[in-house]
Structure 1
Amino acid sequence: MHKDQDPVMQQKREVLARFLGVEKVALRISNGHLYGFKAFFHGNDEAYLVLSDAEATQAAENAVQEKLWLISLESLFAYFDINASPADLLGKIRIKEIRQANEEIKKLIHHTSGMEPLRKRMISFGNRKNLLADYDQTEHYQDGFFIYRLY
């Protein structure tokens, strides 16, 4: 089925259009997937995930292993009360290096507790919004769906 004909994606597009107060034709559906789901673009500087409750949990669980570098640095900075942000790295280090670091952290976790306990614990602490809404760490609810702004 073509992505524009998918009734669930059309429903999500309508919900996001109402949330943003725009016409649904102003929203484009991504070609690829983020954390296992398609995103919506509004203009050139806004992107959103629109997910059911179960989808949001699944997406957040998928996001954990893609953001291990970020989670690790945030945890270290918080533990030692250091006023720095992992986002400060962006632009100073190549994406390839971040991905390599993430893969190495993933190996460490695999050889200790495994990924599943970390995923479950992060979700149980209510971290869906932090994992999915990069822009503002806010989870919005509209007409049966959760909306997360990516950027």
Structure 2
Amino acid sequence: MQNYPDPVIQQKQAALAKFLGIPQESLRESSGSLYTFKAFFHGNDEAYLVLTNNEATIAAGHAVQEKLWLISLETLFAYFDIDAYPADVLGKMKTREIRRVNDELKALIYNTSGMDALKDKMFAFGNRKNLLADYDQMEYYQDGYFIYRLY
């Protein structure tokens, strides 16, 4: 059975290649997905999401749920003007422990305001780019797609 390239993936790759000023062939599609969408790799140290407006909103909704621990720490540190970074926890806690904390926070939110209330507030303040562009918290636009650099 012959595999045919997905035209949507091809369009996204073309938009990203144009944005980066590189040949489309130098981009690789991820084998898995992030927030339900494929990512693209350029070299060994760059990864991007290329999404329509609707896809970006869906992906950001997934990101909210996966990053509750990070959002909570950032909010606490900002509220109390604490000079610390949530990412510092990554080297000190196991991924399993962070996931457990995130799941507990998710349960608290679902049993109070609900996740949609949190997502709506975050999106109303323009946090989509902060949720999706881990590298620079920027949202770029090229040929009908929003581009987010992951790393």
Distance 1:95 1:41 in 2: 24
Q: Which amino acid aligns with 2:124?
A: S
1:97-136 Cα deviation digits (max 9, x unpaired)? 1111100100111111111110111111100110000000
Q: Partner of 1:54 in structure 2?
A: 54
Aligned to 1:31: 31
Matches within 5 A, 1:69-148: 69-148=69-148
Give the TM-score taking structure 1 as reference length. 0.96
In 2, are the aligned partners of 1:61 and 1:120 still within 8 Å (CA)? no
Q: Is the 8 A contact 1:4 1:10 kept in 2?
A: no
Report the CA distance shift for 1:18/1:4 in structure 2 as closer, same or farther (over 3 A): farther
Work out whether residues 48 and 150 of structure 1, in 8 Å CA contact, stay in contact via their aligned partners in 2.
yes
Measure how far apart 1:19 and its partner are: 0.8
Count matched residues.
150
Alignment correspondent of 1:12: 12
Q: 1:9 corresponds to which letter in structure 2?
A: I
Evaluate the alpha carbon distance shift between residue 96 and residue 11 of structure 1 in structure 2; reply closer, same or farther with a 3 A threshold. same
What's the offset of the Cα at 1:93? Answer: 1.3
Deviation digits for residues 24-61 of structure 1 (CA, Å, limit 9, x no counterpart): 11111111111111100111111000001111111111
**Partners in 1 of 2:92 and 2:22 — Cα distance?**
36
In structure 1, what is the Cα distance between the partners aligned to 2:22 and 2:90? 32
Q: Give the TM-score taking structure 2 as reference length.
A: 0.96
The ranges of structure 1 where at least 4 consecutive aligned residues each deviate by more than 3 angstroms after the TM superposition are: none
CA RMSD of aligned residues (A): 1.3
Please report how far the alpha carbon of residue 3 of structure 1 lies from its aligned counterpart in structure 2 after TM superposition: 8.0
Please say if residues 136 and 149 of structure 1, whose CA atoms lie closer than 8 Å, have aligned partners that are also in contact.
Answer: yes
Task: Give the C-alpha shift of residue 4 in structure 1.
Answer: 6.1
Return 5+ residue gaps in structure 2 as ranges.
none
Q: What letter corresponds to residue 65 of structure 1 in structure 2?
A: Q
